[in-house]
Amino acid sequence: MSYILNILKVIIRKGPSVLKQVTGFVDHIPNLKSRLKVLSSSGFQNKDIHPGKVTLVGFGPGNPDLLTLGGDRALAQSDIIFHDDLLDIDYLKKYRAEKVYVGKRKGNHHIEQEEINRLLLHAAKAGKKVVRLKGGDPMIFAHGGEEVEYLERNLIPVEVIPGVSAGVAVSSLLKVPLTHRGISSSVAFISGHSKNVALPDADTLVIYMGGSNIRAIARKAIAQGRDHDIPVMLVHNLSLPGQQEFFFTLGELALNDQNFPTPVIIVMGEVVSFRNRSDSDASWNNRRDSLSTIHQYSDPINDKSLGHLTHTNLQRAITIGDTMEKPRRERGPVAAIKITVTGKKTKEAVKEYGS
């Protein structure tokens, strides 16, 4: 692309005489005529102007520690930074570049995407090193593809530096694997902007921008056959000091009319069971999960004080099963314990361990 761009600029600067000489050449190259017109109208004609470059940089989920070295380098070398609000604004003060806020939040678009595209183009035409800084990763629910397409169509060099997307960061920061052998072999990233969002048939769903529609999304998931007892995790201000976490079952969310703070990233699936939860966590008090205190026993199956176990959590059922040798499950108090199971996958796990 840069090689072709340089050839076109030389042709433009040489003037109409050269254009006439290459007319036949131009006719045989798709889109070349239109690109020549773009260059001519964008200020390259007969001027020694070199266009700048636009670099799309992913800032990550918000904590500056998660910004990549490549992203930091691009910011340090930039002349102007166009940024949104899903990041640590104070951190940007360390860079000498001009800062321009172009944030967009649901119901409050400071600047429309088309105008952002034009601002990037104008700055690049002026020969500036431009950074378009986005929360998360530039190419995941961030309009990065639209900006790349627009700029390259206008013959502006573009580079994209990946960032840590919130849907990936939430997994590591909260120690909730998005995939896990025997529990989740597929994961889907979806936008929750619309109440009519399509829910793929994946074991784990990671939902961006779904805070205001979570009740409708939960109802749709149940209507599509997902179990009421599937755990769901909502995280606000991921990786930042004010991070908040909310835990529910799918059935509880379908009936919940709570307004959650935004932005929020949502994880839906049995893998949420991996999250270590405090028994005093108010978010889980309404679960009435009788398994929530079982981890206090070193040997829950052979503890004679227990008469009834309720398996409502797939991972805990598996954990208990893994810690017991089969001969111990087949003798003594085992026969005296009544076991209740909720959830299809939890039932399958309990059967597998001979419970």
The one-digit pLDDT tens for each residue of the chain (355 residues) are 554 555 555 454 444 444 445 555 555 555 655 655 555 555 444 445 578 999 999 999 999 999 999 999 999 999 999 999 877 888 999 999 999 999 876 656 578 999 999 999 999 999 999 999 999 999 999 999 999 999 999 999 999 999 999 999 999 999 999 999 999 999 999 999 887 888 999 999 999 999 999 999 999 999 999 999 999 999 999 999 999 999 999 999 999 989 999 999 999 999 999 985 443 344 444 443 333 333 333 344 444 444 445 454 555 565 555 545 445 444 444 445 556 555 566 667 666 655 5
Q: List C-alpha distances in Å: 281 to 151, 247, 248, 278.
A: 49, 9, 12, 5
Please tell me the number of Cα atoms within 13 Å of 64 on its side-chain side: 9
In the numeric block, the tokens 């599937």 are attached to 230
* Cβ-contact 166, 178 below 8 angstroms: no
The set of catalytic residues is 84, 104, 209
Closest CA to 218 of 199, 191, 246: 199
Residues 6+ apart with CB under 8 A from 302: 328, 332, 333, 334
**Domain at 51-163, CATH class:** alpha beta
Here the tokens at position 263 are: 């932005």
Token code pair at residue 290: 């009788």
Q: Where are the domains of the chain?
A: 1-48, 51-163, 167-284, 288-352
> How many angstroms from the chain centroid is the CA of residue 288?
31
The CATH number assigned to the domain with range 167-284 reads: 3.30.950.10
- Cα separation, 50 vs 68, in Å, equals 28
Given a contact cutoff of 8 angstroms between Cβ atoms, the answer to whether 316 and 335 are in contact is: no
pTM of the model: 0.69
